[in-house]
Structure 1
Amino acid sequence: MPKQASWMLRKILATQPTWNELQQPLKAGKSIVRQIYLQLLEYNVRVPWKCMMFRNAARPKAIFTLWLHIQDRLLTKERLVAWDMDIEPKCIFCDALLETRDHLFVLKDHPGPVNWNTHLQWLIKSSKGNSQAAQVVKMVYTEGVHAIWIERNQRQFEQMSRSVEVVAKEVAVTCNIRALPGIQQLLRQYIF
């Protein structure tokens, strides 16, 4: 493969083995589009947290924030400092530790040894399936992550802050509005 080739040309040339395999006769009852799709699908790794994305009743912007959060792509101060930005790396909430994803969403005031992987494994386990409890976990966690991130940004950029109770009530109201009727009854059991 030529080194001066563009990234797009390199990607196209890299699929050549796939195309060679597809030149073989069609399997009985399978279309060429299906064969191409299934062949290309093999190269994509399935993420274990996909259960958090699908059938989640949270708002689309909250689901997008969760997607960034799970992949550690939120622009925390740790990441901004790594890009040589001249900012104060301390957490806006506690003003003591470096602001990281783990500090903002996992380790904050949590007793015992918890890291991101154990937190994510618990989250995946709790949100798998179609049960009402799994639906509640997905939606409340997603809206909670979004609310924490919005509160962080408001404190950082607009010098506005709200109490924990106000943020929790906002998450509860949003989840109650977005939930299906059966899940709404389950959510109303919790007092905010």
Structure 2
Amino acid sequence: MEYIVEKIGMSRTITVPSKPVTLLRVLDAKVCEVNENSAIVAYKSGKKMNKAIEGQQKKYSISSEFNRFVTLEVANSEAGDIDLTPLAEAKVIKATFTTKGRGFTGAMKRWNFSGGPAEHGHRFGRRTGSIGNAEWPGRVMKGKKMPGQYGNTQNSVKNEIISFDAENKIIAVVGSVSGANGSLGRVKVAK
């Protein structure tokens, strides 16, 4: 079963020894249409409305606060509020979020290169260094670790659930989850 969640942030348990935990809030969602293996789910997002979204809301006759639609695997057999009982019984979840985008970065930051010596008289510094080959093959090989776009990619991590607060719809999972605080992602029950 899948759910749309918002990353609240990180905290820790008060047990000894304490464990780092990430808090995820399950967003309010409505199941609009149930197919064989998946369902169309509407959820609340801070994004602007457009004609296409208004048409979807009219088609499924839901309120205007639900302004995003996505296809998920759900436990529901019919349209209505999303069923949270699988989360209460789950032990492990798979969280998929978009990592923080760091823009165009150099090779040292992107690939954890050590760089050159920091003494007087050198010109190496934070540069990549030599990237080419000899006369054969006479080109830079594909996949060479070079400066470029770093972050802003999808990342999935399996986490153990410590607790699930059904009233406030908050999941506490052991360890970290990719993405900035406040970012939206998906959570799938793995076990």
TM-score by length of 1: 0.23
State the structure with bigger RCO (CA 8 A, min sep 6), 1 or 2: 2
Going by fraction, where is helix more abundant, 1 or 2? Answer: 1
Going by fraction, where is strand more abundant, 1 or 2? Answer: 2
TM-score by length of 2: 0.23
